[in-house]
């Protein structure tokens, strides 16, 4: 699957069987899938869910959405704090199929996945403390 590096934005091809081996970017050598949210797309999201041994937290957002922009640093800080989970972002404008499949009707919407299935979701930007509580309840 193609994963866009969250640091330098270059495209990396990652094989599913290597997904959990802490892949690094071929261009900038930084970790592709740890510490910072990674942008996912209609093309790779299903494969990422299937391949990831870690639970996945997704932030469905759009560039024009003020609350989404306000929530972005909260999401990024949580990604830095919780390497045990994979934090991904889905731009709903650029990825209409996913938004439709998951019936995303308002943004931001946050969804937590275990073993590829949604275990919890919530719409609306959360404060950092609320987001921590939500994560803890989703992955308890
Ligand atoms: Zn890179």
58-74, pLDDT tens digit by residue? 999 999 999 999 999 99
Q: Locate tokens 């599913």: which residue?
A: 16
Handedness of CA 111, 88, 66, 91 (dihedral sign): negative
Beta carbons within 10 angstroms of residue 107's beta carbon: 23
In the chain, where the domains are located: 35-138
Q: 124 C-alpha vs ligand 1 centroid, how far in Å?
A: 30
* Burial profile 117-140: b = 16 or more Cβ within 10 angstroms, e = fewer: eeebbeeebbeeeebbebbeebbe
Q: Which residues are catalytic?
A: 65, 68
For residues 117-123, average pLDDT: 96
Q: 27 C-alpha vs ligand 1 centroid, how far in Å?
A: 5
Q: 104 C-alpha vs ligand 1 centroid, how far in Å?
A: 30
Q: How far is Cα 37 from Cα 81, in angstroms, rounded to an integer?
A: 11
Averaged pLDDT score across all residues of the chain: 96
pLDDT band at 47; cut points 50, 70, 90: very high
User: Residue 58 has what pLDDT?
Assistant: 98
Class of domain 35-138: alpha beta
Residue 140: pLDDT above 90?
Answer: no
pLDDT band at 7; cut points 50, 70, 90: very high
Q: 7 C-alpha vs ligand 1 centroid, how far in Å?
A: 5
């Amino acid at each position: 699957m193609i994963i866009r590096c969250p640091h330098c934005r270059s495209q990396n091809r990652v094989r599913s069987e290597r997904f959990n081996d802490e892949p690094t970017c071929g261009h900038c050598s930084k970790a592709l899938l740890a510490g910072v949210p990674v942008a996912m797309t209609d093309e790779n999201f299903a494969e990422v869910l299937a391949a990831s041994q870690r639970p996945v937290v997704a932030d469905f957002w759009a560039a024009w959405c003020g609350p989404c922009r306000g929530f972005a640093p909260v999401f990024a800080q949580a990604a830095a704090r919780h390497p045990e989970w994979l934090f991904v972002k889905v731009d709903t404008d650029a990825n209409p199929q996913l938004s439709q499949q998951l019936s995303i009707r308002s943004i931001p919407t946050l969804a937590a996945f275990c073993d590829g299935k949604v275990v919890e979701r919530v719409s609306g930007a959360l404060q950092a403390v609320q987001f921590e509580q939500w994560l803890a309840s989703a992955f308890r």
